[in-house]
Structure 1
Amino acid sequence: MSALFYSLSPALLAAGTALMIIGSLAACILTMSQWFIHRRPLATGFLLSVAILLAFYTWGFAVTIINSQAGIFVLHDNYFGWFVVVCLGLGLALLRTTYRFAAGPLLVFLVALLPPIVGFGGKWILLAAGTFSTSWLCVQVWRELQLLLHDLSPFSIKEALDCPQHGALFADSRGHNKLVNSSMEGLLDSLNLTSLTRYETLASQLRQLATDKIVPAGFAGQGASKGGIGEVTSANFRINDPKGRTWILNRTQLADKGRFLTQMIALDVSKYMSLSQELSDEIESFQQRQKQLAQETARLEEALTKRLVLRTRSSIHDTISQRISFVHRFLEDGVADEERLGQLQDLLAKLPTDLSHDRAVIPAMVWLATLQDLASSAQLDLQISGDLPAEEDRALLFMQVLREGITNVLIHTTSSEMSVKMWEDAHSYWLEVSNPGVVTTTPSYGTGLSNLEARLEAAGGSLAILTTPSFTLRARLPRFR
């Protein structure tokens, strides 16, 4: 076989050396993947033997290039042939495993590298077998790369665990941390800890940093059984890191086919804690506003009650004063007419109904007609000119002024005449109630006039009382804009 190497031209020696170097590197990469990723001992041994075989050929080509006879003698054909047989034996054993689809074609190429076959076929068989072996090994390296990128493997699992923002750590029954994702590494680093620490020690250090210790006593493995794993299956506690984030750490014991693992999950609950605090603040603020609303409601009810009482008193005063004024006029006139006495009796009979009736629902025009009838019954010549305001609430206020005016005319004057004028200008409505008679008693601001003036002022208007040259009530109300 040494003569075969020396029969090759420098170009073929260089090409053969390059092929064997590439093949050796590819076989080494596949050896590491089969051991560290797939955990296949037989495939690892076979690929290691292939790497050694190709390294021998690389050595043979290299020493031939430098014309080293001593190097060629080291590659004794007999010993070299026996090593190829061992390599092929490992490959044949692989044909009974799932790796046979990758090892089968490689075995065909390696058979051609046997010294008898190489010696019979010559340099072209050697170069062809080396080319196909190296090519097939490179194809297998490419497939392994695709598996790492796309298929499920320990590396893909590690990559998947690095995606979530939550931390994850897995330790075996002996306390060795087998898998730690980047989030957990970051948390431990911020706490000046490391995942290289045994799990029992690491758990104890984390528990000392806990802000609220809700961890059972067996968390760190105390009182352990079955290879050092505690009897507690789940535990939780909270930790605050230097960055102000809050983490909830959960420890769970896992069992799989007689093997026991400890899983620690770190959940970043900073946002939830912040939202919880904001919700608590909002609830507290809502309760404060609710108390304020209750106080305001109580004050409003009190004000409405007072207003209702005042309105009721005013209504009672208006109604009773009206009836008293009519009775007073009847008595002064010495009424003996049966018809007028019947009218007086009817007014007094309707007094309870008028006191309980809701005057707010009676239209102003109805009030005006009613007051005209009452004036006629009291033999009061009531002359009305002008029109009521278009706004109903303004018209009702004017009716209150007219009613108060009729009452005061009947009580405080001796006249049987009364004139009412209503007009409006660009800004206000006006009502004037006057009586040409002599004022026998000076009118005072009692409940009737003071309440009437308060109502007009509340609506933005005013009330003026004149006693000379005649008794006059002049009311003003602003127009709606």
Structure 2
Amino acid sequence: RRPVMLAELLLVAAVTPPVVFAMGSAWTTVLIAEGAFFLFCSIAALLMDVRNRQEDITAFSTIETINVIPVGILYLDPRGRPLLMNRCMRKNLVELHMPTDLGDMSGTWNDLRKLSMQMPESSQNRVRINLDRFGEARVVVEVSPAEIRLFVHDDVMVSGRLFERIIGLDVTEYAHAHDRLAQANHLLELAGQELQAQIEEVKKVADNAAYLRMRARVHDVIGQRLSILHRYLEEGRLDDESLEQIDPLLRSIAADLRSGGDAEPAEQLGDIVHAFGLVSVQIDVEGALPEDARVAAAFLQIIREASTNATKHAQAHRVHVRLWQEGADADGIAHMTISNDGSPASVSYREGTGIPGMRHVAQDLGGSLEVHAAQPFTLAVSIPLNASATAQRRSS
């Protein structure tokens, strides 16, 4: 099984008496080869023993392993004498200015607890101590401590004997990661609270916008109906036929408020013309409403308000609405003029709330409204057909 041993067997056979007598004087060469071979085997065996000893686990290799691990270990016997203390534990105690001699160390754990007395993380068998950058222990926690040590104390049984064990751990990275995580959680909590507050503000703004839209709708619908009813009363039209005409007009107030103006623009314009026609106010419409839904809705709101004002304040019997468009749909401008044959405006004419409201409707879409107070009283409105983009730019 070991071919190298064949050479050794041959050399052993060469020193037997029969072989020696047979070789005569040549046997001296065999003796030299014999000595060289055994010297080689002895040196090789010693080298193999050294290598095997380094690879085998011995008491010395176990102690060396305990000394190089990054965990502090201290074993004390019942009298407080150190049975085992590795280099990491010795280093930790030196940083804390505590004794590391091999005498009585029974008070080591109590000294560690005193150093961490004010630390909230400490307990009966666990203490945490912060070290500053100069390696001195401190009790007060700073924002970013340089190093943090955690010591754990317990009792263990070894070979039937009770020993006190103290383990020291470097938990600097874990503690800093925990602090960063706690700070990130706090920032997330603040961001969540801020987001919730912004959501509440958005809800308030949305509620206010809905309220303003409803208020404008109520003003348009009820104001129109009241103006028509006022004209009926002024003209003394209280006969059965007039009451039959005005009854559905008044009953439709709630339905019009619920609809929110969802009908087609042309249909809404027809309803306005029909409603004022009941009180002998003729609304002539020249041209067609623009296809842009937002511009058409603004024109309808202005037509309704202007007709109401003409009926209520100027006692008009005819309102003329002219609609036209300049340019292409993308870059064009929609124009509208509204005039009436009512009584002329006084010299000290002042705008109330109706005209500023109509002007605001046009300006919201990037347009304008001009008033010509001379007879006939005329409103000139111009709104660009890219009003949606203008309104989005303003809102942003």
Shared fold (TM-score greater than 0.5)? Answer: yes
> CA offsets per residue over residues 61-87 of structure 1, 9 Å max, x none?
xxxxxxxxxxxxxxxxxxxxxxxxxxx
Q: What is the DSSP-based 3-state SS (H/G/I as helix, E as strand, rest coil) of the residue aligned with 1:200?
A: coil
Q: Whose helix fraction is larger, Structure 1's or Structure 2's?
A: 1
8 Å CA contact retained: 2:339, 2:376: yes
Deviation of 1:338 (Å): 5.7
The residue type paired with residue 344 of structure 2 is V
Aligned equivalent of 1:167, options 71, 96, 114: 71
Aligned equivalent of 2:49, options 132, 140, 159: 140
2:159 paired with 1:253 = no
8 Å CA contact retained: 1:180, 1:195: no
Inter-CA distance 241–377: structure 2 relative to 1 (3 Å threshold): same
Inter-CA distance 375–266: structure 2 relative to 1 (3 Å threshold): same
2:167 paired with 1:265 = yes
Match of 2:394 in 1: none
Separation in 1, partners of 2:315, 2:354: 20
Inter-CA distance 193–344: structure 2 relative to 1 (3 Å threshold): same
Separation in 2, partners of 1:408, 1:270: 79
Deviation of 1:402 (Å): 0.7
The residue type paired with residue 472 of structure 1 is T
8 Å CA contact retained: 1:239, 1:246: yes
* Correspondence list, 1:36-185, <5 A: 131-145=40-54, 147-148=55-56, 155=61, 158-159=64-65, 162=68, 166-173=70-77, 175-181=81-87, 183-185=88-90
Deviation of 1:468 (Å): 1.0
Match of 2:290 in 1: 389
8 Å CA contact retained: 2:72, 2:92: no
Separation in 1, partners of 2:53, 2:249: 113
Match of 1:317 in 2: 219
Inter-CA distance 201–420: structure 2 relative to 1 (3 Å threshold): same
* Correspondence list, 1:413-424, <5 A: 413-424=314-325
Separation in 1, partners of 2:251, 2:307: 20
Which structure 2 segments of 5+ residues have no match?
Answer: 1-11, 13-27, 134-145, 390-396
Match of 1:353 in 2: 255
The residue type paired with residue 397 of structure 1 is A
Deviation of 1:263 (Å): 3.5
Separation in 2, partners of 1:209, 1:266: 14
Inter-CA distance 471–207: structure 2 relative to 1 (3 Å threshold): same
Match of 1:469 in 2: 375
Separation in 2, partners of 1:436, 1:160: 109
2:334 paired with 1:429 = yes
The residue type paired with residue 370 of structure 2 is A
Separation in 1, partners of 2:261, 2:89: 76
The residue type paired with residue 388 of structure 1 is L
> CA offsets per residue over residues 315-356 of structure 1, 9 Å max, x none?
32222221122223334555478655422121012223334x
Match of 2:136 in 1: none
Deviation of 1:292 (Å): 4.7
The residue type paired with residue 267 of structure 2 is V
2:246 paired with 1:344 = yes
Inter-CA distance 301–237: structure 2 relative to 1 (3 Å threshold): same
Separation in 2, partners of 1:411, 1:288: 56
Deviation of 1:251 (Å): 1.9
Which structure 1 segments of 5+ residues have no match?
Answer: 1-111, 113-121, 217-234
Aligned equivalent of 1:453, options 359, 381, 384: 359
Separation in 1, partners of 2:35, 2:208: 117
Inter-CA distance 378–420: structure 2 relative to 1 (3 Å threshold): same
2:281 paired with 1:380 = yes
Deviation of 1:285 (Å): 4.0
The residue type paired with residue 461 of structure 1 is G
Inter-CA distance 171–411: structure 2 relative to 1 (3 Å threshold): same
Match of 1:240 in 2: 130
Q: What is the DSSP-based 3-state SS (H/G/I as helix, E as strand, rest coil) of the residue aligned with 2:106?
A: helix
Separation in 1, partners of 2:58, 2:337: 100
> CA offsets per residue over residues 68-122 of structure 1, 9 Å max, x none?
xxxxxxxxxxxxxxxxxxxxxxxxxxxxxxxxxxxxxxxxxxxx9xxxxxxxxx9
Deviation of 1:172 (Å): 4.7
Separation in 2, partners of 1:138, 1:282: 60
**What is the TM-score with the length of structure 1 in the denominator?**
0.59
Match of 1:54 in 2: none
> CA offsets per residue over residues 214-257 of structure 1, 9 Å max, x none?
454xxxxxxxxxxxxxxxxxx11111123321111112322233
> CA offsets per residue over residues 255-302 of structure 1, 9 Å max, x none?
233144443322323233333333444444455455555655555555
Inter-CA distance 210–349: structure 2 relative to 1 (3 Å threshold): closer
Number of aligned residue pairs: give it. Answer: 339
Q: What is the DSSP-based 3-state SS (H/G/I as helix, E as strand, rest coil) of the residue aligned with 1:240?
A: strand
Separation in 1, partners of 2:211, 2:43: 109
Separation in 1, partners of 2:50, 2:246: 122
Inter-CA distance 314–130: structure 2 relative to 1 (3 Å threshold): closer
Deviation of 1:169 (Å): 0.8
Match of 2:7 in 1: none
Inter-CA distance 286–448: structure 2 relative to 1 (3 Å threshold): farther
Cα RMSD, aligned residues only: 3.9
The residue type paired with residue 167 of structure 1 is V
Separation in 2, partners of 1:453, 1:313: 17
The residue type paired with residue 455 of structure 1 is V
The residue type paired with residue 477 of structure 1 is I
Inter-CA distance 143–276: structure 2 relative to 1 (3 Å threshold): closer
Separation in 1, partners of 2:341, 2:123: 99
The residue type paired with residue 75 of structure 2 is A
